[in-house]
Structure 1
Amino acid sequence: MKLIVPVYDDNRIAEGFNRTPDVCIFDPMASGQEGVCTFVPWRTIIPPGSKITKKMKEMGIEAVLTSQIQLLALNLFVENGINVYKSSGDDLTYNLSLYIKQELMPYTAIEALENSSICSGSCDSCESDDKCEK
């Protein structure tokens, strides 16, 4: 089962898909036990306006790994049969090894609700990255 992870610097897990243009598509079945992580721009595989869960399923992606997720996004993935896992820190290699060993915890609705104050950065009215005014 392939996994998609929002990333930066090719070795760190980003704080969600809205925080980076790049993702790692991890295939644990490729090249033996270590698996293969392919880095691609997010919007080249899932263009704006496309049905995200449908495209993911077509690509064989059955799980998401992220450090943060909004409740609506979590529900969208889960309702469409895509598992969502919460990262343990931001080290990509470490988290992929946890995924292979099936030691990652599923993201819960309560954890996603805690992220409800996270700004998506789309309104351009913030004074800083730390606090949104809306």
Structure 2
Amino acid sequence: MKIAIPVIDDSKHKYDIANGFNSTGSLCLYNKDSDQYSWIRIADLASNMGELLPALISKDVDNVITKHIHPMALQVFILKGVKVYLSEGFNLKENIDLFNQSKLHLCDAISSYADIQICGGQCSVCSTECNEK
């Protein structure tokens, strides 16, 4: 079982979960069976965000832990058989522990719409702290 977690970068902040997937960030790929961690820049895995899910599936990823996900992206992940869990805070290792204890919540349509209701989805920044108007 492999889990993909978007992180801020693959060096200084590799244990800090990012707000969501973006092309400038990185991913931690965690193999639950071997308890191995690896990091990769999203741009090195997929040339655009539309190619990210097929790239994850090719790496046998079947679960995702993320802070936020766009509702349409969530639907695509679910249709392709990838389960999406909402992180509790931003600490990667704590969230892996919670996942291993079955204490993370599956993301559903209602939770994926939370950010869109806040900002209206009018910018390219997926963050509840968004100040762009």
Q: What interval of TM-score do these two structures reach, taking the shorter chain for normalisation?
A: 0.7 to 0.9
Given the two structures, how large is their TM-score scaled by the length of structure 1? 0.82
Secondary structure of 2:113's match? helix
CA–CA separation in structure 2 for the residues paired with 1:42 and 1:6: 9
CA–CA separation in structure 2 for the residues paired with 1:40 and 1:49: 14
1:68 maps to what in 2?
Answer: 68
| Percent of aligned positions that are identical | 24
**By how many angstroms is 1:121 displaced?**
3.1
1:95 maps to what in 2?
Answer: 95
**1:17 paired to 2:21:** yes
Q: Is the 8 A contact 1:3 1:64 kept in 2?
A: yes
Distance 1:87 1:19, change over 3 A: farther
2:44 maps to what in 1?
Answer: 44
Equivalenced residues, count: 123
Structure 1: segments with no counterpart, 5+ residues: 123-128
**By how many angstroms is 1:19 displaced?**
7.5
Q: Is the 8 A contact 2:6 2:18 kept in 1?
A: yes
**By how many angstroms is 1:112 displaced?**
0.7
CA–CA separation in structure 1 for the residues paired with 2:83 and 2:75: 10
1:126 maps to what in 2?
Answer: none
Q: Is the 8 A contact 1:6 1:20 kept in 2?
A: no
Q: Is the 8 A contact 1:18 1:120 kept in 2?
A: no
User: Which residue identity does 1:26 align to in structure 2?
Assistant: Y
**1:113 paired to 2:113:** yes
Given the two structures, how large is their TM-score scaled by the length of structure 2? 0.82
Q: Is the 8 A contact 1:7 1:20 kept in 2?
A: no
